[in-house]
């Protein structure tokens, strides 16, 4: 499609933002999987001084989701295909998954508060009843050090045509709302802040504020069959007397 949007490559825009913020960034137009590369280089000599390394691409040939799921992106350059590799001195607890999901949700809702953002456990971001982003967390351990790798795929200017349950940010924006420029860069700034803060609490229980925030974001999901009635500090969700582990969702 010959439009100004078609010329924008989200990976390139994101890599330039990272460079301007003095972050280590690895950008390739195409690769198998940003998470796979981040895991491969987790403790490479060049990474020893990098508390955060960002991997981005415009197209993945073997994008992965949780378990045996795959990530399918639309046209090359239309999605934020990224892996955020954090060097930690502690072992992340299961609550880290909750905190990262909340961090991405907060970044989205803060930047575009007029959209119907919601969270589907364990880590899918929706606008209304359609998925717009997915998160994949993986750990690589060497001695006392851990690399927490946060894979984030976010449909920005298009979604896969063959996936009818997916949408993109551009498809959901009201007429006249700007897409890139300052809005997208503000989103990346907020995302970096929220995720880095979440990672700093990777070995902690959820605070009461985090529990209530997660409960609210989850209960906004329109496809939820039954509302969650509570959330515990370890990330367990409650529906009446029934307790559900976050990791089993």
CB 29 within 8 A of CB 11: yes
pLDDT digits (tens, 9 = 90+) for 159-171: 888 888 999 999 9
DSSP state of 92: P
Q: Which residue has the tokens 């990976």?
A: 11
**Residues 21-36, mean pLDDT to the nearest whole number:** 93
Q: How many residues does the chain have?
A: 249
| pLDDT(155) > 90 | yes
Q: How far apart are CA 96 and CA 199, in angstroms?
A: 7
Say if residue 67's pLDDT is above 80. no
Each residue's pLDDT tens digit, 97-118: 999 999 999 999 999 999 999 9
What is the band of 96 on the pLDDT scale with cuts at 50, 70, 90? Answer: very high
Q: Which CATH architecture has domain 5-222?
A: 2-Layer Sandwich (3.30)
pLDDT at 9 over 60: yes
pTM, full prediction? 0.92
Sorted by where each begins, the domain ranges of the chain are 5-222
Query: Alpha-carbon distance 153 to 160, whole Å?
Result: 12
């Amino acid at each position: 499609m010959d439009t100004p949007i078609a010329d924008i490559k989200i990976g390139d825009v994101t890599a330039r933002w990272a460079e301007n913020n003095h972050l280590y960034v690895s950008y390739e137009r195409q690769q198998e999987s940003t998470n796979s590369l981040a895991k491969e280089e987790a403790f490479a000599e060049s990474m020893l001084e990098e508390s955060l390394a960002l991997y981005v691409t415009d197209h993945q040939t073997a994008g992965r989701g949780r378990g045996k799921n795959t990530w399918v992106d639309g046209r090359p350059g239309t999605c934020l295909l990224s892996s955020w590799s954090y060097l930690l001195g502690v072992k992340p607890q299961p609550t880290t998954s909750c905190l990262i999901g909340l961090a991405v949700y907060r970044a989205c809702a803060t930047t575009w508060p007029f959209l119907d953002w919601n969270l589907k456990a364990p880590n899918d971001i929706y606008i209304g009843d359609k998925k717009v982003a997915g998160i994949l967390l993986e750990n690589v351990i060497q001695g006392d050090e851990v690399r927490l790798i946060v894979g984030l795929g976010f449909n920005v200017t298009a979604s896969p045509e063959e996936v009818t349950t997916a949408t993109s940010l551009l498809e959901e924006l009201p007429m006249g709302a700007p897409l890139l420029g300052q809005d997208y860069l503000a989103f990346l700034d907020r995302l970096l802040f929220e995720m880095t803060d979440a990672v700093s609490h990777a070995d902690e229980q959820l605070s009461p504020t985090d529990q209530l925030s997660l409960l609210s974001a989850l209960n906004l999901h329109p496809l939820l069959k039954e509302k969650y009635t509570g959330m515990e500090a370890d990330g367990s969700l409650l529906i009446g007397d029934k307790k559900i582990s976050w990791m089993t969702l």
